[in-house]
Amino acid sequence: MRAQLAQVAFDLFRDEGFDKVTIEDLAKAAGVGRSTFLRYFASKEEAVLSAFDGQGDLIAGALCARPADEDDWTALRHALDILIEAYHEGPDKALALSRLVRQTPSLRAWRLEHQQSWGQTLTQALTERAGTPQATSLAASVRAAAALGCFNAAVDHWAASDGDLDLGDLLDEAFAALTAV
């Protein structure tokens, strides 16, 4: 039911614009009452951004599965491939969602807030890879934040190109830009 409500919300936001749609509009379009909708989502933002639920854990799992002898930066880059796969599986929806988030200040803010927790999850995974799960290092936090920043920049460029550019290539380029510093 949650996934169905999220899809209805996404479709309505895409067609009408995020700010024009109310919770009542979402509930009506989904054929449920307002209270039912609010049982699944506390806000309109949550209905959209539920598409990103669990992504931090997916990246961390992919990171932990990387070879132990691989440096953290390379491991982070390859761990992000799990997100790129999702963009490749549904490029039209991914492009529409990226545009919606980029064009809506409240969604951008919520996404950054969610990614803050991803950064903490990735930092923990990096420290576990290093064999020091008790101590979270500043270096691991910086690498995790930088990797997410690279991902966001790559997605922004991908969306700006209408999905014509390859997201993996853009992410490689973003990572390379920081290694060249």
Q: Determine the average pLDDT of the residues in 157-176.
A: 96
Tell me what pLDDT residue 181 has.
Answer: 65
Using an 8 Å Cβ cutoff, are 147 and 122 in contact?
yes
pLDDT one-digit tens code per residue, 56-105? 999 999 999 999 899 999 999 999 999 999 899 989 989 999 999 988 99
**What are the E-state strand segments in the chain?**
none
Q: Which residues contact 92 (CB under 8 A, 6 or more apart)?
A: 163
What residue ranges define each of the domains in the chain, with the CATH number in brackets? 2-47 (1.10.10.60), 54-179 (1.10.357.10)
Task: Give the model's confidence band at 136: pLDDT under 50 very low, under 70 low, under 90 confident, else very high.
Answer: low
Number of H helices, E strands in the chain: 11, 0
The pLDDT of residue 132 is above 80:
no
